[in-house]
Structure 1
Amino acid sequence: MKRIKIAFLIPSLDLGGAEKYILKIIKKYEGRKADFYVCYWSGQDILKKEFETLGAHLFRFEFKKLKTLNTFFTLRKFLIDNKIDLIHSNLPDSDYLSFFSAFFTGIGRISTVHSPLIFYENKKIRFNYFIKSFFFDKFICVSEEIFYLLRKKCMIAENKLIMIPNFSDFPEVYPHVKKINEKIVFKSVGRLHPIKNYDFLIDLFSLFSEKYFDKFELHIIGEGEERKKIERKIKEKRMENKIFLRGMSLNPKEEMSNCDFYISSSKSEGLPTSVIEAVSCGVPCILSDISSHRQIIEDGISGTLFDLKDLETACEKIFNFVKNKDLYLKMSHKAFEVGYKKFSSNFIFPRINRIYKEILSFKKRIPSVLYVVDNLGSGGLERMFYLFSKRFFMENIRLRILCLNKGGYYFEKLIENGIDCRLLSVNNIKNPFHLFKLWKEFFYFSPDIIHSHSPYSNGFSVAACFFYPFVRKKIAKIPTIYPDFSRRDFIREKIFSFFTDKYLAVSMFCADWFSKKVKIDRKKISVIYNGGLGLEGWRNSDKKNKEKFAADFIFSTLARLEKLKGVDDILKAFSYYSDKNWIFLIGGDGSHRKELEEISNSLGLKSKVIFYGWVEEPGDILHLSDAFILNSKQREGFSSALSEAAGFGLPLIASDVGGNKEIVFDGVNGILYPEGDVKAIGNAISFLASNKEKRETMGENSLKFFKEKFSFEKSFTDIKKVYEV
């Protein structure tokens, strides 16, 4: 297997968070098939030995200026000569070099964004990152705040962003924490820079010493341009015997393990590694109340947060924390427990490794998919859509569902399963505000494929795509036929067809009808049946006993109780055999239900017909049945209920309309009869009821056809092939 080559771009090898971040990644990669090249151009090489010990190839470039053609071409030549597969840049200058040097090289590009501050200070940087987003494969955000800023302020598409926090090596068990001595030792680690706010920290401890407690030491570990200013401040406050500037440490984690409390007064942070390392040592943390600190500890639960605007209250909070030894141990335990789950390298590094693999195998990946649907109620088509969406989500395929009109049962179910669903509440394709809503979702999600699930939703998608030309494939589903369409509707569909790459029909019948009526090339339409789960996919633990009905024959139907489903004709046909010990099970609900119940009673079938209402699992009824019947009228594109019944090995009875003829083969796995012929319905029921052997043979054939043509696995595989770009 080929060793992958990853180049890290970093301004220096000094003792900063970004440098230690790269060091940890290389360390965790030890023993894997990868070569690391660390490219830098400034600084004091403080961590050079650590990188060399891990086998990294170090290259220091003597760039006089960064933003020159000579710089770009020098780095570009290096990348090509060393056959680099992936660039992982850190900090804005590195991103800038990666952006220009890797143009048209086919090298993957990742950037880790470590600080949120640059996006608040400089609008130009926000715009630069927006432009870079079109050329970088992924931006790793080390904190939730950075993710938000890149998403909202820089307008970077969501599929380019991933939140992976900084990490540290945590011991498997909670480390021993020493008892607090009379003299309490506080430590703080960081560059001596204005953003670290050491002025506030000195004022804080000066007041703390004056009003509350003076038996303490504060050790500040780090170097920087503010050192002389901080030294003067310490002298002004006469704190030379309590506050010590310790300079740099190659192992600050070891320093923290020898203190009682870790403290930070930073104004802004990405996600401070020093705090995570303190937590990994079991050291309780006292931190300024900023976004990144809140991501690590919870105030009063796993540490203490103080307000930078209120010195008095901050002192009081610290004193209350310090004097309570029970609280000290409790918070230390809690911080370690939460930190281990959120920031341990055992959990975080595999996510970084997964990103590397994803980008390196980019050409083979299944693209991100955006589904656009009218609504997600509780019908058969909606159930199939739910099953497909759930499966795609389980296979880690990036998926979002946009519901144009209203949600419904399966909309809520998808959300419960953690699938990204959005309800847009749009209904007018001519309304620019409604189109803008859809376009905004396209822009932020940045899909490779848009899959619309009806002519209505396809119209919206096509219109919105005029303003978002980056979609690689536009697919539209043909779920049924539309006999009510006017000439104007067909002209509209013809226009939309010019901007649609592929149509997926649920049956040959629908494909032929659409091709003929809209006058488009039949080759542009593929047929993918709505596959069912069948008996093997039914996982209901409460399996009712079929024998409880004490009937000679049980047949069933699953359908919306509307006139188009013709359940009233089935009841009339059944009434011819009301003297038989047969039972008819009806699963489904709708506006026609009350009328059907009245018809059943008037025909003397009250004790022989059971209305179940809507059922989520078709198997709850199908496993009780000896045969299945569907009396569709006119516009049955493809019946999911029929295919599910075939998957349960049942003989099928169906009207010879639409897609029914593609599931039921007369005399082989069931019986077809002319639409509306009540007598023929009765004869079919009677034939199967009185011929057990024939019934079983037809059921076996149904199951065979189901596995060959209508299984969920086959349909899912066919759709995945269509999605491959």
Structure 2
Amino acid sequence: MNKIKIMHVTHDLNIGGLQRVVVDLAKNIDRNKFEVSVCALREGGPFEKELTDQGIEVIRMPPMNDRPDYFRFWKLYKIMIEKKTAVVHTHNIEPFTDGVPAALLARVPVRVHTDHARVFPDKKRYMFAEWILSHFTSQLVAVSEHTKANLVQYEKINSKKIKVVLNGIAGEKYRVQIDKEQKKAALGIGPGRAPILGVSARLTRQKGISYLLQAVKLLSKDYPDTLLLIAGEGELWDQLNAEAKELRIERNVLFLGPRLDVPEILQLQDVFVLPSLFEGLPLVLLEAMAASLPIVATDVGGNRQAVRDGLNGFIVPSKDSVALCSAIKRLIENSATRESFSRNSLELFQKEFALERMVKTYEEIYLNCLVSTN
């Protein structure tokens, strides 16, 4: 039987939640039925090697320089023709506006699009483009009910056209057994530091880290040995380091930079905190749940689908340092609640956010859409 040829189209393969979904989907799909390639429109990135090591072809578009974008559209069209692509799966707006028109011209029978984290309302030209292209897409996917609601409200897309597929991750690697004291020593964390909070995020405005730093400042008044571990890098690295210094909490914050040992770092934490200003369904919450951590997260995007307020964490308003501090204190000061939330996080993850469930759902989408076209 000939394999069904799928091409994922994404912006890049840098470290991020969207890219992780693309990589996991490409790596774990049934290779007996599907042949997968991944096209990065702008650049490759650290995830490229992970794909090529698994025998998955990565296609990188040449640098655009001063050429207009239709050259990229034309290049995509030619690649789809050459590879006899049966399914094009685009991720977020730029791959959508390039990938779906190219797929139409190349007569690719199935065109799937997933909408990940975005700010709504988006720029008018993007919303209009997505509305137009939705009519030529076999299946639109939203990563959370919140994202689906935004597509319906702001882009006037028919809700029947949108299917919610919750993100999933491979949870086993986040339940590692480590020597915590040895790991702390390796990171330069002295004895007696508690509570230990954590966040894994790109250091961008979206992630709201400034509000978490202010919450740590408040918390340190009652808990002077508080330590916040920040795993990630980004454009606000210098600014956030300067803010920590200005708040006089340098000893309470450890900027770890990009890490390959996030599962081990999660094991050191008492509470995971995500202070984002907007989200889709962030994978870092799923990682924290897989690591059996209680969570404090802001009330944005699909956070409520992962963090059930009062069950496995607390949901607080965004841009509110006082609320963040208060929720963290509630967990620190009540060990029974903390332990209950910890158990519930893992149970909820195993029930709803396993990688196998996500992959199987997408496989069904591809196959059902192919049947419909025939």
1:576 lines up with 2:223 in the alignment: no
1:382 lines up with 2:19 in the alignment: yes
TM-score (norm 1): 0.47
Distance 1:713 1:466, change over 3 A: closer
Name whichever of 612-621 and 544-553 sits farther off: 544-553
Counting aligned pairs with the same residue, the percent is: 29
TM-score (norm 2): 0.89
State the alpha-carbon separation in 2 of the partners of residues 621 and 431 from structure 1.
Answer: 41
Return the structure number with greater relative CO, CA threshold 8 A, min gap 6. 2
Partner of 1:68: none
Partner of 1:687: 330
1:602 lines up with 2:246 in the alignment: yes
Partner SS for 1:405? coil
Task: Choose which of 255, 259, 280 in structure 2 pairs with 1:637.
Answer: 280
Instruction: Give the AA of the match of 1:463.
Output: P
State the alpha-carbon separation in 1 of the partners of residues 270 and 129 from structure 2.
Answer: 46
- Is contact 1:393-1:399 (8 Å) kept? no
Distance 1:430 1:682, change over 3 A: same
Partner SS for 2:255? strand
Task: Choose which of 537, 542, 548 in structure 1 pairs with 2:173.
Answer: 537
Partner of 2:196: 554
Partner SS for 1:576? helix
**Within 5 Å, which residues of 2 pair with 1:451-600?**
451-469=89-107, 471-483=108-120, 485-534=122-171, 536-538=172-174, 544-545=180-181, 548=185, 549=189, 550=191, 551-579=193-221, 580=223, 581-600=225-244
Shift of 1:391: 1.7
- Is contact 1:372-1:453 (8 Å) kept? yes
- Is contact 2:15-2:47 (8 Å) kept? yes
Shift of 1:593: 1.4
Output one character per residue of 1:57-94: Cα deviation in whole Å (capped at 9) or x when no partner: xxxxxxxxxxxxxxxxxxxxxxxxxxxxxxxxxxxxxx
Partner of 2:74: 436
1:412 lines up with 2:49 in the alignment: yes
- Is contact 2:152-2:159 (8 Å) kept? yes
Unaligned segments of structure 2, at least 5 residues: none
**Within 5 Å, which residues of 2 pair with 1:53-64?**
none
**Within 5 Å, which residues of 2 pair with 1:2-41?**
none
Instruction: Give the AA of the match of 1:492.
Output: A
Name whichever of 595-604 and 701-710 sits farther off: 595-604
Number of residue pairs aligned between Structure 1 and Structure 2: 359
Tell me the C-alpha RMSD between the 2 structures.
2.4
Shift of 1:655: 1.0
- Is contact 1:507-1:659 (8 Å) kept? yes
Output one character per residue of 1:507-531: Cα deviation in whole Å (capped at 9) or x when no partner: 1111110122221211211111221
**Within 5 Å, which residues of 2 pair with 1:63-78?**
none
State the alpha-carbon separation in 1 of the partners of residues 137 and 340 from structure 2.
Answer: 43
Distance 1:657 1:540, change over 3 A: same
**Within 5 Å, which residues of 2 pair with 1:151-550?**
359=1, 367-392=4-29, 397-425=34-62, 431-469=69-107, 471-483=108-120, 485-534=122-171, 536-538=172-174, 544-545=180-181, 548=185, 549=189, 550=191
State the alpha-carbon separation in 2 of the partners of residues 708 and 541 from structure 1.
Answer: 22
State the alpha-carbon separation in 2 of the partners of residues 482 and 430 from structure 1.
Answer: 26
1:712 lines up with 2:369 in the alignment: no
Instruction: Give the AA of the match of 2:303.
Output: N
Partner of 1:702: 345
Instruction: Give the AA of the match of 2:160.
Output: K
Instruction: Give the AA of the match of 1:681.
Output: L
Instruction: Give the AA of the match of 2:211.
Output: D
